[in-house]
């Protein structure tokens, strides 16, 4: 009888320990979700008002370069948007944080979470922009409070600051350089607007120029900007070099630009995708796509380099921070009150109907106008 009683008491003790551990784990999960969600709401409140916000209560701040990067990235985004010629404050937004995995080990945690944000900006109050990004966020429990120690994502602003920091700048110096470039860009926009660009001269050819359905391409880009590419198309991960130019090429193909299998592959004169192992560099590479589009003089894509104010719906914009590294599809472009509005869809931080002026301007941009294709 005593043995049975002892076993019963032991089982009760084990159950009590397991229940306590489960309760503690649930409390940790709740606290972790709470700090991450509140942090991102604070970020978007800053962008709503274009006023800097204190984020130190969500982060481990002591001797943490990741915190310095976050502070200066948010500050750069706020101040860049504040100095634009149009009102980029958020009229409204809806933030959704989908927590996919929370792994807690002692007083440290790794969190995989998908951030989805829909927002309207004052400059375009009828346009709903959407961004989706995957985050790996690390946290540490300090004085019984969970604090963020790092946040890995595809945030383009953070990538720009990081690239300048890698070149020997502090985070604050990187921000200062970016904002100085934003000031210079304002003057460039005014100068470009007063000097229309007619684009490059077309090459004389006996081939027949066929039309490009920019509207259909734009509709396809909008539909799949915030999801993986549908079958049979592949979606390239960040580890595989990203999906940005692959997504743009699919958009062009959907607009009627056919595969080009004729030219010399040594000179980027072909453009096609049949599978991940049967494709050309021009389909998935930023520089190769531009090289092909501008220089192709035979069958296939016909395109011209144009200035910002001549970029149209269905065209392409590319970005460089010393090397050309990102392509985006222009799903809507129009002029209102003498200002050229450009909205983009892209992958490798999925963005849908995003006003291009939200991007930091320390990067060089070039615009590709799609004329059609030759057969």
Residue (of 46, 225, 48, 197) closest to 122 by Cα position: 48
Inform me whether the pLDDT recorded for 2 exceeds 60.
no
- In this prediction, residues 252-262 reach a mean pLDDT of 95
- In this prediction, residues 170-190 reach a mean pLDDT of 89
User: What's the domain range around 66?
Assistant: 24-191
Last residue of a domain, one of 174, 191, 208: 191
Give tens-digit pLDDT for 237-256. 988 989 999 999 999 999 99
Inform me whether the pLDDT recorded for 225 exceeds 70.
yes
Query: Under 8 Å CB-to-CB from 212, ≥6 apart: which residues?
Result: 252, 255, 256, 257, 314, 370, 371, 372, 373
Higher pLDDT, 261 or 207: 261
User: Does some domain include residue 226?
Assistant: yes
- In this prediction, residues 137-159 reach a mean pLDDT of 96
Inform me whether the pLDDT recorded for 19 exceeds 90.
no
Q: Which of 22-26, 135-139, 226-230 has the lowest mean pLDDT?
A: 22-26
Residues 144 and 237 in one domain: no
Banded pLDDT at 364 (limits 50, 70, 90): confident
Q: Is 251 helix (H, G, I), strand (E, B) or coil?
A: helix
Residues 41 and 116 in one domain: yes
What's the confidence (pLDDT) of residue 3? 58
Give tens-digit pLDDT for 192-224. 656 554 444 444 445 788 999 999 999 999 999
Looking up residue 65, the CATH number of its domain turns out to be 3.10.450.50
Q: Strands, DSSP E only, in the chain?
A: 90-105, 108-121, 124-142, 145-152, 209-210, 273-275, 278-279, 300-306, 316-320, 324-336, 339-346, 350-355, 364-374
Residues 221 and 158 in one domain: no
Banded pLDDT at 336 (limits 50, 70, 90): confident
Inform me whether the pLDDT recorded for 290 exceeds 80.
yes
Higher pLDDT, 257 or 14: 257
What's the confidence (pLDDT) of residue 285? 96
- In this prediction, residues 157-172 reach a mean pLDDT of 94
């Amino acid at each position: 009888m005593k043995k049975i009683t002892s076993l019963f008491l032991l089982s009760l003790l084990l159950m009590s320990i397991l229940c306590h551990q489960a309760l503690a784990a649930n409390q940790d999960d709740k606290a972790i979700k709470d700090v991450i969600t509140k942090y991102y709401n604070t970020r978007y409140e800053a962008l709503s008002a274009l006023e800097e916000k204190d984020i130190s209560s969500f982060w481990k701040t002591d001797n943490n370069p990741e915190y310095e990067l976050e502070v200066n990235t948010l500050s750069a985004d706020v101040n860049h948007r504040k100095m634009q010629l149009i009102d980029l404050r958020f009229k409204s937004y809806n933030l959704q944080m989908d927590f996919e995995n929370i792994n807690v080990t002692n007083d440290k945690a790794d969190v995989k979470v998908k951030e989805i944000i829909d927002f309207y900006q004052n400059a375009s109050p009828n346009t709903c922009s959407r961004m989706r990004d995957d985050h790996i966020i690390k946290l540490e429990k300090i004085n019984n409070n969970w604090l963020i120690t790092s946040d890995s994502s595809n945030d383009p602003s953070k990538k720009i600051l990081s690239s300048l920091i890698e070149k020997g700048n502090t985070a604050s110096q990187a921000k200062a350089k970016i904002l100085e470039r934003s000031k210079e860009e304002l003057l460039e926009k005014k100068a470009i607007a007063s000097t229309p660009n007619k684009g490059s001269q077309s090459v004389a050819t006996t081939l027949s120029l066929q039309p490009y359905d920019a509207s259909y391409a734009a509709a396809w880009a909008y539909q799949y900007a915030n999801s993986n590419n549908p079958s049979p198309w592949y979606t390239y991960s960040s580890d595989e070099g990203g999906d940005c130019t692959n997504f743009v090429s699919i958009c062009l193909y959907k607009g009627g630009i056919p595969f080009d299998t004729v030219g010399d592959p040594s000179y980027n004169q072909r453009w096609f995708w049949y599978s991940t192992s049967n494709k050309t560099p021009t389909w998935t590479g930023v520089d190769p796509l531009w090289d092909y589009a501008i220089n192709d003089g035979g069958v296939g894509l016909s395109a011209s380099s144009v200035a910002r104010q001549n970029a149209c719906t269905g065209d392409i914009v590319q970005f460089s921070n010393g090397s050309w590294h990102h392509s985006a599809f222009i799903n809507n472009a129009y002029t209102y009150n003498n200002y050229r509005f450009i909205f983009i869809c892209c992958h490798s931080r999925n963005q849908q109907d995003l006003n291009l002026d939200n991007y930091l301007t320390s990067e060089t941009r070039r615009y590709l106008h799609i004329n059609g294709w030759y057969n």
